[in-house]
Amino acid sequence: MQDTLRFGPLGDEAAHLCIDMQRLFGAGSPWAIPWIEKVRPVVAHLVAARTERTVFTRFVPPASHAQTGGAWARYYAEWPEMLRERLDPGWLELLPELAGHVPPARVIDKPVYSPWHDGRLHHFLRGAGINTLVMTGGETDICVMATVMGAVDLGYRVVLVSDGVCSSTDTGHDAAMTLFRTRLSQQIETAPFDEILDSWPV
């Protein structure tokens, strides 16, 4: 299926939700996403063009293993260096070219893959009259997918910037994009950055 805005142009009810574009996933981190370097310019351009309509999410690990539970306890047993008691807090910050846009852009922190778990993001967006989310960030098959599926459940129009999302693996990214473009084609649109910007007046 072609990447395009099948359901019309974007308007004042749209916001840019930028998912976990942090130093935590950049070069030098144990959780580095190699593809992040490829999408950084696209994400930065969209943030600069729609700064006041941008919301960043940040993945913030628990402070210690004692604050984990269930499968997360097993997960952080494999990644103890990523617990905040051992992690330099600078790694949690947004990538430098994005951080300078806060404010007016906003930041929502989350301890899990989905940003919808505590209701704060949904409450803010609804209060601002937002019903459409233009999404960028990483990873396509983990945090982006969790964000997309939660937004679908909540009834948002979801537009994924096809050249503005990334993953650690080609197979995971491609599988997620195929799912979005086929099984969820009535609820998710995928479109390239240039078309999105042209279809979203200031």
For residue range 57-70, what is the model confidence (pLDDT) as tens digits? 999 999 999 999 99
Distance of alpha carbon 196 from alpha carbon 190, whole angstroms: 10
Mean pLDDT of 170-197: 96
pLDDT at residue number 2? 82
Report d(CA 90, CA 93) in Å as an integer. 6
Does position 202 have pLDDT exceeding 90, yes or no?
no
Q: What share of the chain is helix, strand, coil (3-state, %, to 5)?
A: 40, 20, 40
Fold of 14-198: Rossmann fold (3.40.50)
Percent of the chain, pLDDT > 90? 99
Share of the chain above pLDDT 70, in %: 100
pLDDT tens-digit series, residues 130-173: 999 999 999 999 999 999 999 999 999 999 999 999 999 999 99
CB 134 within 8 A of CB 125: no
DSSP-H helix ranges across the chain:
36-49, 70-78, 96-99, 120-127, 143-153, 170-181, 193-198
**Domains of the chain, residue spans:** 14-198
What is the rounded average pLDDT for all residues in the chain? 97
Does pLDDT of 1 surpass 70?
no
- 99, 93 contact by CB (below 8 A): yes
